[in-house]
Amino acid sequence: MSAGETCSKIIVVTINLIFLLFGLAALVAGIVFKVGGAWSTVSDFLKIADENSEIKNAGEALALGAIIFGSIIVVIAITGCIGACCKVKCLLVLYGIVVIIILLAEIAVVIVVGVKSSDVENKTDEALLKTLVNYKENSTDDISRAWSIVFKEFKCCGVKGNVDFRNYTSTFYANERPAQYKGSIYYVPITCCSKFNFEAKKSLSSSDFDTNKNCLTAPNSEAYDKGCVKSIINSVLDHKWAFIGVGIAIFFIEILVIAMAFYLCSRHD
């Protein structure tokens, strides 16, 4: 066996062992969340009134997706390892073709997302806006609590901004909200107030609204006014170079293993 073959075999096996561990982690996580029901809160958060909504059971879909994704990665990694270690030509060819397909699919996804990014964002906005219909500022249910956590962590309010709540003032008000802070001009939930920490409160009181009264109308400097979708996107963009770096690294790793697989295949005795 030449030095080139040995080096190629080591590279392919090492890379695939790493992907095998990654695939197993995704598979186990998916199974745990699926069986243990850990995604129920996510599912409830995304659940909306429309029975035909594609995102109604998004939590379950994510867990199932992790299982499928992990299984595929495990199978591909094992195929690559066995093909390289045992110099099985058919497995090396199959492995190389599958990785090429994955690489092309990744390129296609990047292109589609780049071209259709505005459409994706609009559909996301529409779907998430429906979840605000049942929002309660006292955060006593899972959907409301999930939104309140997002408001606090990303310093945002609503999907497109706190104006999203203009149409829901009669439904999101907590029972503890004093009458003088109810009405069309008081459309900012107290959970969107920068000086209010709902996680430190077991329950709301009228004094909480008195303390944050300047925040309950908009626009004002004490209320989060930026939409959460934009805030999350901006948070991701703040780390865009890290994502780009990882993407480029994965791209070249895939090119490398494809080249090594076909090289080993061509050197098969």
Structural element, H or E, at residue 3: helix 3-36
Report the pLDDT value the prediction gives residue 36, as an integer from 0 to 100: 60
Average pLDDT over all residues of the chain: 81
Put simply, whether the predicted model's pTM sits higher than 0.75 gets the answer: no
Cβ atoms of 80 and 9 within 8 Å: the answer is no
Residue type, 183: G
Give the number of C-alpha atoms closer than 13 A to the C-alpha of residue 191, restricted to the C-beta side.
Answer: 29
Say which residues have a Cβ less than 8 Å from residue 117's Cβ, sequence separation at least 6: none
Which range, of 58-72, 93-107, 134-148, 233-247, averages the lowest pLDDT? 58-72
User: What tens digit of pLDDT does each residue of 133-177 get?
Assistant: 788 888 888 788 888 889 988 999 988 888 888 876 667 888 888
Q: In this predicted model, which residue has the larger pLDDT, 203 or 249?
A: 249
Report the pLDDT value the prediction gives residue 126, as an integer from 0 to 100: 80
Residue 1 has pLDDT above 70, yes or no: no
| Residue 94 CB neighbours (<10 A) | 16
Say which residues have a Cβ less than 8 Å from residue 248's Cβ, sequence separation at least 6: none
Tokens of 127: 């779907």
In 3D space, the residue among 140, 135, 142, 120 whose CA is nearest the CA of residue 59 turns out to be 142
User: pLDDT class for 78, splitting at 50, 70, 90?
Assistant: very high
User: pLDDT class for 94, splitting at 50, 70, 90?
Assistant: very high
